[in-house]
Structure 1
Amino acid sequence: MQTRRQMLQRSATVAGLLASAGLMSLPGLALAADYNKAAFDAKTMADLMKALGAGAPVESKDVTITGPDIAENGAVVPLGASTSLAGVKSMLILVEKNPSILTAKFDVSDSVEAAVQTRAKMGQSSNVYAVALMADGKVLFAQKEVKVTLGGCGG
């Protein structure tokens, strides 16, 4: 049976080997590789599309947004976005009245179903958007109003 001391010594040895091979720094490199500060600083959909280099968004029945009509707790509001269209490059979830309109961005490909879900913090009732950025440059969206009864941003 292995003692705690032996296990820690072996772990330290393995960590030392990985560090000497340069493998310990890989997760740090991948952490913020695609971080777009201008996109997360955007306050309106127009500013966001400009920061992403995308065109003007067009409402579409092919994009769907899911979420509660009334969220009892704004700290954890379940939201989802999906589309069955081919050629989707990214799916976005936007909350209009949050300090940063961009809540989530998911990069997808044709080999991945463009259906995503997350939980978002909402400080107040707001319109929520599901946006599909297409490979051909089109930007399609759907919107839904979500009412918040208890604010998640200090309310």
Structure 2
Amino acid sequence: MKRRMFIQGSLAAGVAGIAAPAAMAKWSADTFEAKGMDATIAAMGAGEAEASDKIKIKAPEIAENGMVVPVQIKSEIEGTETISLLVAENGTPLTATFTLGEGAAADVKSRIKMGKTSDVIAMVTAGGKTYKNHVSVKVTKGGCGG
């Protein structure tokens, strides 16, 4: 009897593991493959984002290598549910979305790819509203710093 329960449990876990990524794949395709800022924001459902200085973005003013730009986003907005990171001048602006569990610290770090100088935009959802902030990052060619 224990063997049968183990096999049934294993099969159920396997099916759940296959179904979850398939469900997320459509969402990812709609948002991560959107071309341009307007299409990306529409796909995210974040058209009415409110500017907020409670979103802190730490990124270099000048990135000598656009292939690897370190970025940290910290939200001081209570009840932060998601943090999304966009690069306005990239062909597909959405670079990451972090979904936070209840009580999780709203502080994320990532390394992003930037094709050229651009605004880096952080969008935060909390309590059914969307908030945003941005910083400009200058990308130099050849690592000359200017």
Q: TM-score, normalised by structure 2?
A: 0.78
Distance (whole Å) between structure 2 residues aligned to residue 72 and residue 32 of structure 1: 38
Percent of residue pairs identical: 34
The equivalent residue for 1:3 is: none
Equivalent in the alignment of 1:90: 82
**RMSD of aligned residue pairs (Cα, Å):** 2.5
Aligned counterpart in structure 1 of residue 24 of structure 2, from 34, 41, 56: 34
Q: 2:67 aligns with which of 63, 68, 75?
A: 75
Offset from partner CA, 1:7-31 (integer Å, 9 cap, x none)? xxxxxxxxxx98xx43566655444
Letter in 1 for 2:24: D
Quote the Cα distance in structure 2 between the aligned partners of 1:113 and 1:77.
Answer: 22
CA distance 1:32–1:73, shift in 2 (3 Å): farther
Q: 1:107 aligns with which of 99, 107, 124?
A: 99
In the comparison of the two structures, how many residue pairs are matched?
Answer: 134
Instruction: Note if contact 1:82-1:130 (Cα within 8 Å) is conserved in structure 2.
Output: no
Letter in 2 for 1:81: I
Q: Which amino acid aligns with 2:124?
A: A
- For the 8 Å contact 1:127–1:146, the answer to whether it is kept is yes
Shift in Å, 1:44: 3.4
Report which stretch shifted further, 101-110 or 42-51.
42-51
TM-score normalized by structure 1?
Answer: 0.74
- Structure 1 residue runs of 5 or longer lacking an equivalent are 1-16
Structure 1 counterpart of 2:3? none
Letter in 2 for 1:113: A
1:4-23 paired onto structure 2 within 5 Å: 21-22=10-11
1:124 pairs with 2:135: no
Q: Is the 8 A contact 2:123 2:130 kept in 1?
A: yes
Greater Rg over alpha carbons, structure: 1
Q: Which of 140, 145, 150 pairs up with 2:141?
A: 150
Shift in alpha-carbon separation, 1:28–1:77, aligned structure 2, 3 A? farther
1:140 aligns with 2:131: yes
* Unpaired segments ≥5 residues, structure 2: 1-5
